[in-house]
Amino acid sequence: MSVIGRSVPRLEDPPLLRGEGAFAADISFPRQLHMRVVRAEMAHARLLAVDVSAALALPGVVAVWTGEDVATIPPIPFRATKLKGLEPYCQPILARGRVRYVGEPVAVVFAENAALAEDAADLVVADLEELPALLDAAAPPRDFDATHATEPAILRKSYGDVEAGFAAAHAVLDLDLSIGRHSGVPLETRGAIARYDAASDTLELHGTAKKQHWNRDEIARLLGRSPTSVHLFEGHVGGGFGVRGELYPEDLLVCLAALRLRRPVKWIEDRREHLVATNHSRQQRHRLRAAVDAEGRLIAIDNVFFHDQGAYVRTHGARVADMSAGLLLGPYAVPAYRATGHFRLTNKTPAATYRAPGRYEGTFVRERLMDAIAARLGLDRVEVRRRNFVPVSAMPFTRPLDALGTDVVLDSGDYALLLDKALARFGWEARQADIARRRAAGESVGLGLGFFVEKSGLGPSDGVRMSVDPTGVVELVTGAASVGQGVETALAQIAADALGVDYRCVRVVRGQTNRIEFGSGAHASRVTVMSGSATHLAGLALRDLALGTAATLLQAPKESLTIVDGMVCRADGPALPIGEVARALAAGTKLSRERAVPGLTTEGWFHSDHMTYPYGVHLAQVALDRMTGAVAVEHYLVAYDVGRAVNPKLVEGQIIGGFAQGLGGALFEEFRYDERGQPLSTTLADYLMPTIAEMPPLDVLVTEDAPSPLNPLGVKGAGEGGTNAVGAAIASAIDDALGNKGLVTRLPVTPREVLRLLGEIEA
């Protein structure tokens, strides 16, 4: 029985359970210095001068740098969605001339211990002349600097005749919808520890995540070094969610300091810093117009939106706005579409991706529209969605759009089937009846849904190296990374399945640039698809090599052999441990001379031009407290088709955890600012992440009805479907409880907003 598809225990757990993890803050080196960042306290100001004299005078302080000291270092570059004209908006590693958000690094202090560094940082005085803060991306753009405005780009994507669609419409819907600013906020803050080894002329960076190889190349380039003289290491990673592992100013600052000061330099972000320094996400306002026919079928959509990028454009370039334009349509067939994305800067923390980026936003917008169509035409909300689905007969479905630099081709999916399964599992009809009874008794209760299409498996290529050592242990070296989602276990399962060994014999090495030259890290739900497929291919190749070698050793036909549980065997004959096969291929052996490379080792590469598109539906039942505005989520279902689940328990874990984050964005979490741009959500008592007490009864339905034709395993990514439609489904259910009038137009839906919508309080 294949180990793929089984909920085997995670390989990652034992050290984490014993407190033996190696997270960034757990890493220390002798003689290390501690870095503390001095951050801007105004949202927008001229930076006239920075006085570091008092800080430098504090005993134990080794150095203090301002923008002048790092003026030769280029700003943080893009790795994604590099639209023309974005370069002037890149973030310098320390501010010069102007500060543009509260939290922007203006100086760094290096001291003998962390508390002392913080004491010294308090003594650094930035002379700021306040400028008006721009806080609304939908407001007219202003000056970014002397020559650039705060609208670096307008994204345009379209196909079909949109104007003709509106001219022919039976009805036109016009919606104004907003998504609040929130983000990943992992439990571990960021950290970076750099060390320069003069003996080998190597710069090491520890505490890294997500994109080690790209970051290595860029760090090397920005610091004027060869990439082979820079190594990035990944230990344990306390959650990623899109925000961790991007190249941030602090990463470069510790590297530069390690080179200049010739001592290891450690930086651990504190939580208040994290909430103003690490990428925010999601804030977007959509003015959506849609044309429909008399049956509620979409004819055309005009999607004008304002993306609040914050103060600078970071590594992701315009990726979230790009996806908000390119992936908005989800599961529906729409004859004509036009997106106009105003990509705008404001005086807030820079924004980038967060789990289901552009889709959490887009699904909220699109599904609000579907509810609005149903209400306008007096149709059933479920039926409107059904009528607009891309049918299974149209798969693969090419949409004349692109996103993430690749054409949008929906690879497989039976949306109507999943919707039917989900409605049945949820008990939609019975709940409708129950809701009607409760409403008659005066309660404000409602049901909601949000259908969505995710994307995963971003190419173009991924490679792994797989080897068996003489003890029979398999080493799988991958350029993928782990942010805690169970990468090692899933890849070990795939490797074990292909090769024929126990998955517990597979050691997965990830996130170490000195072990493999190429890697794409862990992002965009790509690891299982891309690294998994590469692992599968490597495993098959290794199996073939092992069988061929064993055939020689056992003097048996290769076809008569198989590998089971690490033993090469034939039905009635002797068995040979796979480690013995490896020994026979070791360097210097006779057999090894017949091969280009000695050892039972191989590389596996997988290439893909298109993404795979998992899909799902969220169903919610809510009750509103008419006196307090509290929203009680009484029942919730996430149904998600992942093509094929490598480890169902891990898939379920991804969905449940992703749901909790989506719930945060729907009801609780928001980075708020006052009118001068001062952040108001700077502690975990103000930034409201759900606790277990906020979690509703949650049901998960994972289906495997539409394996991807694009990879040998048929898998699709599972990481983001739990998050994607939570805002949409909760909004839909609240709106239903309010009478389906389209009142819910903004996330998060706060109790105060519910009271206002109930008419209990004034705006």
Partner 1 sequence: MSDVLHRVRMTVNARAATIAVEARRTLAEALREDLGLTGTHLGCEHGVCGACTVLMDGAPVRACLVLAVQAEGAAIRTVEGLAAPDGTLHPLQQAFADHHALQCGYCTPGFLMLAMAMLEENPAMEEAEMVERLSSNLCRCTGYAGILAAVRSVMRR
Partner 2 sequence: MKAPPFEWHRPATLAEAVASLAAVAPQDGRVLAGGQSLLPAMALRVARPPHLVDINGIAELGELRVEDNALRIGALVRHAAFHRPVAHGPLGALMAGVVRHIAHWPIRTRGSFGGSLCHADPASEWPLVAVVLGATMQAVSLRGDRLIDGPAFLRGPLETALAPDEILRAVTLPLLPADAHWGFEEVARRAGDFAQAMALVVLRMDAIGRVAEARIGIGGVEAVPRRLAAVEALVNGRLPSATLVEEAGRAAAAACDPMEDAPYRRALVRAVVSRALASAAMPQALAA
Residues of this chain that interact with partner 1 (CB under 8 A) are 9-10, 12-14, 16-21, 23, 25-26, 115-116, 119, 184-189, 236-239, 241, 270-271, 483-486, 649-650, 652-653, 656-661, 683-685, 689, 691-693, 695, 698, 722
Piece of the chain touching partner 2 by CB under 8 A; list 41-49, 226-234, 612-620, 689-697: 689-697
Which of residues 17 and 763 has its CB atom nearest to partner 2 in the complex? 763
Distances (CA, A) of 732 to 193, 363, 448, 658, 701: 46, 11, 4, 19, 20
Q: Least distance in Å: CB of 422 to partner 1? A: 19
**Scanning residues 740 to 759, which ones bind partner 2 (CB under 8 A)?**
751-752, 755
Distances (CA, A) of 35 to 264, 689, 725: 10, 28, 40
Q: List CB contacts of 541: < 8 A, sequence separation 6 or more.
A: 602, 604
26 binds, options partner 2, partner 1, none, Cβ within 5 to 8 A by partner type: partner 1
Q: How does strand 567-570 pair with strand 575-577? A: antiparallel
Closest among 523, 511, 509 to 475, alpha carbons compared: 509
Contact pick of 105, 457, 653, 690 for partner 2 (by CB under 8 A): 690
Contact pick of 2, 53, 200, 628 for partner 2 (by CB under 8 A): 628
13 binds partner 2 (CB under 8 A): no
Q: Least distance in Å: CB of 700 to partner 1? A: 9
Which of residues 341 and 719 has its CB atom nearest to partner 1 in the complex? 719
Contact pick of 407, 694, 699, 705 for partner 2 (by CB under 8 A): 694
**Scanning residues 271 to 290, which ones bind partner 2 (CB under 8 A)?**
271-272
Q: How many CB atoms lie within 10 A of CB 30?
A: 7
629 binds partner 2 (CB under 8 A): yes
Q: Least distance in Å: CB of 100 to partner 2? A: 24
760 binds partner 2 (CB under 8 A): yes
Which of residues 9 and 97 has its CB atom nearest to partner 1 in the complex? 9
**Amino acid identity for residue 155 in this structure:** L
574 binds, options partner 2, partner 1, none, Cβ within 5 to 8 A by partner type: none
Which of residues 51 and 694 has its CB atom nearest to partner 2 in the complex? 694
Which of residues 15 and 88 has its CB atom nearest to partner 1 in the complex? 15
**How far is the C-alpha of 734 from the C-alpha of 623, rounded, in Å?**
8
Closest among 460, 352, 478 to 407, alpha carbons compared: 460
Window 643-682: contact mask with partner 2 (x via CB under 8 A): -------------------------x--------------
**How far is the C-alpha of 730 from the C-alpha of 612, rounded, in Å?**
26
Which of residues 106 and 237 has its CB atom nearest to partner 1 in the complex? 237
**How far is the C-alpha of 749 from the C-alpha of 747, rounded, in Å?**
5
Which of residues 28 and 228 has its CB atom nearest to partner 1 in the complex? 28
For the packed helices 359-377 and 726-737, what is the interaxial angle rounded to 10 degrees? 30
Q: Least distance in Å: CB of 39 to partner 1? A: 16
Residue spans of alpha helices (H) in 664-738: 721-724, 726-737
139 binds, options partner 2, partner 1, none, Cβ within 5 to 8 A by partner type: none
Which of residues 103 and 413 has its CB atom nearest to partner 2 in the complex? 103
Which residue is it, tokens 């090599």? Answer: 545
Q: Least distance in Å: CB of 416 to partner 1? A: 28
Q: Least distance in Å: CB of 660 to partner 1? A: 4
Closest among 209, 276, 201 to 247, alpha carbons compared: 209
Which of residues 118 and 475 has its CB atom nearest to partner 2 in the complex? 118
Closest among 304, 316, 16 to 174, alpha carbons compared: 304
Q: List CB contacts of 351: < 8 A, sequence separation 6 or more.
A: 181, 183, 279, 280, 281, 282, 283, 308, 309, 310, 314, 320
Which of residues 112 and 118 has its CB atom nearest to partner 2 in the complex? 118
Residues 697-700: contacts with CB within 8 Å, 24+ apart? 697/634, 697/635, 697/636, 698/636, 698/637, 698/638, 698/656, 698/659, 699/425, 699/426, 699/635, 699/636, 699/637, 699/638, 700/637, 700/638, 700/639, 700/640, 700/652, 700/655, 700/656
- 244 with 233: CB under 8 angstroms? no
User: Where along the sequence are the contacts to partner 2 (CB under 8 A)?
Assistant: 114-115, 118-119, 122, 270-272, 625, 627-630, 668, 683, 685, 688, 690-691, 693-694, 751-752, 755, 760-762
